[in-house]
Amino acid sequence: MKTRHDCQRAGMIPARWQKPQTHNYEAGVGNLIDIKDVSHTFATDGGPLHVLDHLNISVPDGGFCAVVGPSGCGKSTLTRLIAGLMIPDKGEVWLHDERVKSPRSTVGMAFQNPVLLEWRSILKNVMLPLEIVPTKLTRKQQVERAEFLLALVGLEGFEDKKPSELSGGMRQRASLCRSLVHSPEVLILDEPFGALDAFTREDLWQTMHKVKAEEPFTGVLITHDLRESLFLGDQVVVMSGRPAHAQYVMDIPFNGPRVLDDLYSAETAERLAILRHQIEIAQGRAKAENPA
């Protein structure tokens, strides 16, 4: 098996993977999400905590951006910024040529914790956003929409069950349906599969691809799993340690539908090696090498 260093020595790694990609800051040129030069500092009991530092990320319309980075580097903070749950100290967040200043109903969110409401049936849980967001759907269409999504993720027949009757993976599927039911432009997933076992996780990756084929959203996925980022993303952003910027961006071309076997290809192995190396740099465990 080749190690990362073998790959680098053999010149197998394309140059664009070796240095951070520079971004197009021009407002919304085909980008749905634009994080422009965002810096943020939290006031904490232990003094100011500089979390984000000149962070730039762009995700094109329909793209799916996977974000990885060391623990505590500010990934969840990034999701909250995109969702408009908070405003950055400096810099701007743009969605669809509109500056984000407050939450908006065109965003869907799902977290590691599925946070289903235990007193509601699965169907009612999925329909929750439709009670908040203005919708043109009739009551019947709303139910159909929720049922469609539940079937899409393989939860047909579980509509009337309570969350406590479902397994962790099923709850996460339901949570995914809830984040999609109002057809958001932007889907934000913060480590949604982080608490699941390896097999369930792989099942859900495939489900994600199925969902992506049906639903036209632009996605941001926070993850700790590099293989997950490669399998689901068409762009992987490695965030540096705190204060975080986009240390490295890898584009992953879509050549036809992805299957799990792709994860065991030589190409993926190389990409994994690069990403792992970048994470080590971000964690401060490895020195950044100057690209030749």
Partner 1 sequence: MKFQKILVPLVAMVIFLILWELLVWANGWPNYKMASPSDLWPAYARYGELFVIYGWQTLWRTVVGLLLAIVVGTLIGMVMGFSRVMRDALYPLLVGFNAVPKATVVPIVALMFVGAHDFNTVLIAFMISFFPIAVSVSIGLSTLEPEYRDILRSLGASNMTIFWKIALPKTLPEFFGALKVAVTLAFIGTNLMEIVSPHGRGLGALFDSGKTNSDYPLMFAVLIALAVLGIVLYYIVVALEQIFAGWAERSPN
Q: Which does 49 bind (CB under 5 to 8 A by kind): partner 1, ligand ATP, Mg ion, none?
A: ligand ATP
CB of 86 to ligand ATP, least distance (A): 8
Give CA torsion, residues 139, 144, 145, 146, to 10 deg: 90
Q: Which does 44 bind (CB under 5 to 8 A by kind): partner 1, Mg ion, ligand ATP, none?
A: ligand ATP
Q: Which does 1 bind (CB under 5 to 8 A by kind): ligand ATP, partner 1, Mg ion, none?
A: none
In the region spanning residues 105 to 134, those forming contacts with partner 1, defined by CB under 8 A, are 105, 107-109, 111, 113, 115, 117-119, 128-129, 131-133
CB of 40 to ligand ATP, least distance (A): 9
Is residue 162 part of the contact set for partner 1 (CB under 8 A)?
Answer: yes
Spatial separation of the C-alpha atoms in residues 25 and 19, rounded to whole Å = 18
Q: Which of 18, 21, 76, 106 binds Mg ion (CB under 5 A)?
A: 76
Q: With CB under 8 A as the contact rule, which of the stretches 2-10, 81-89, 91-99, 239-247 interacts with partner 1?
A: 81-89
Is residue 182 part of the contact set for partner 1 (CB under 8 A)?
Answer: yes
Taking the least distance from each CB to partner 1, the nearer of 108 and 241 is 108
Is residue 44 part of the contact set for partner 1 (CB under 8 A)?
Answer: no
In the region spanning residues 57 to 116, those forming contacts with ligand ATP, defined by CB under 6 A, are 71-77
Taking the least distance from each CB to partner 1, the nearer of 179 and 240 is 179
Question: Phi, psi (5° rounding) for residue 119?
Answer: -90, 0
The site map against ligand ATP for 36-55 (x = CB under 6 A) is ------x-x----x-x----
Q: Which of 83, 152, 204, 282 binds partner 1 (CB under 8 A)?
A: 83
Is residue 292 part of the contact set for partner 1 (CB under 8 A)?
Answer: no
Would you say 234 and 58 are in contact if contact means Cβ atoms under 8 Å apart?
no
Spatial separation of the C-alpha atoms in residues 123 and 125, rounded to whole Å = 5
Q: Which does 204 bind (CB under 5 to 8 A by kind): partner 1, Mg ion, ligand ATP, none?
A: none
Which chain residues interact with Mg ion by CB under 5 A?
76
Which chain residues interact with partner 1 by CB under 8 A?
80, 83-85, 102-105, 107-109, 111, 113, 115, 117-119, 128-129, 131-133, 162, 164, 178, 182, 188
